[in-house]
Amino acid sequence: MKRFTAETADPDVIVNELLNGGGAVGISGLFTPEEIAEARAIVMEHSEEAAEKVTHFQGAAEEDGKLSLQRRVWNLLAKGDVFCRMAAHPVLMKILRKFLGTEFIMGSIAANRILPGGPGQEPHVDYPYWDFHSPETHPVGLNGSFPMNAQVSVLLDPFTQESGATGYVPGSQKELRYPTPEDKFYENCAQMTGEPGDVALFYGVTWHCAMPNKADHDRSAILIQYLPKWVKPMEDMPAALPQEFLDRASPDIRQLLGLNYPYPEVLDTARAGNTEGRT
């Protein structure tokens, strides 16, 4: 995985790596130790209980009775301003505007906490491609030549081979399909290792998964999903946020929440007049 710093994170270079290279990059120096500690404390507070939350690609863990070893925390924007700073970091915004278009949105922001002994995930691709194991439900000819997803993982704990750093197959984003057992994912994967505060940025059609946590510490991260403005987001974040939050949201956060893009709209009651076109 090619690695960059806040100063060397050139959007053109990174976009080319996401599309035509390995499909994932690492970026360091975006967040302070204090921000990471604050985010981690909030995640721990909201995930101490083992109450089950909706999760994904954990079918084997559910069958084995180990689902409680992976804990999700959803609706993070309502749980601390630090998550707004993470979601709209200027370096990330600059890269993502180049990758997904200047008016891209955020489809989800959540925490994923895998406790020691937690099993890994099923190798997969991410939303909106995540059910591509049923390709007939998607349009004919759909491919990965243009992106409809970018994923950011902000590491809260050390991501090592032992703790289950995200596994991925470099170059697998070049052909959009769901990985199969014949692809021998675990024999061909690399891992997105890093230290707390590092960011892993990857194209979500790259085959990937959380690996089993065999360490003696948690393996937690903030997971942020970004989409083009016209892709239906995974989380209905505005509905989960108080009106006070929406009223004081920064321009970047309003963009990420999709508040600048009016569709779908009840056009029978919309403001009269021409609303679209070059002029």
Q: What is the pLDDT of residues 117-168, one digit of tens each?
A: 998 889 999 999 999 999 999 999 999 999 999 999 999 999 999 999 999 9
Closest-CA residue to 27 (of 73, 74, 96):
96
CATH of 2-256 among 3.40.50.300, 2.60.120.620, 3.30.70.240, 2.60.40.10: 2.60.120.620
Mean pLDDT of the chain: 93
Least confident of 6-10, 51-55, 227-231, 262-266: 51-55
The torsion angles phi and psi of 225, rounded to 5 degrees, stand at -110, 130
- The 3-class SS string of 224-242 reads EEEECCCCCCCCCHHHHCC
Is pLDDT above 80 for 39?
yes
Is pLDDT above 90 for 60?
no
**Cβ-contact 116, 54 below 8 angstroms:** no
How much is the pLDDT for 132?
A: 96
How much is the pLDDT for 270?
A: 87
Burial class (CB in 10 A: 0-12, 13-18, 19+), 29: middle
Outline where 101-228 has alpha helix (H): 185-188
Euclidean distance between the first and the last CA atom of the chain, given in angstroms as a whole number: 44
What Cα–Cα distance (Å) separates residue 76 from each residue in 37, 43, 87? 15, 9, 10
Is pLDDT above 60 for 54?
no
What order of strands is seen across the sheet that includes strand 70-73? 2-5, 24-28, 199-202, 150-155, 219-227, 105-114, 70-73
Closest-CA residue to 154 (of 89, 101, 102, 234):
89
Total-model pTM: 0.93
| Residues 73-121 pLDDT 10s | 999 999 999 999 999 999 999 999 999 999 999 999 999 999 999 988 8
DSSP-derived letter for residue 88 is T
Domain ranges of the chain: 2-256
Measured distance CA(18)–CA(165) in Å, rounded: 19
> Which whole number is the average pLDDT over 223-232?
97
What are 17-21's contacts with CB under 8 Å, separation 24+? 18/99, 18/147, 18/150, 18/173, 18/201, 18/202, 18/203, 19/145, 19/147, 19/173, 19/203, 20/174, 21/170, 21/171
Number of alpha carbons in the 13 Å side-chain half-sphere of residue 117: 6
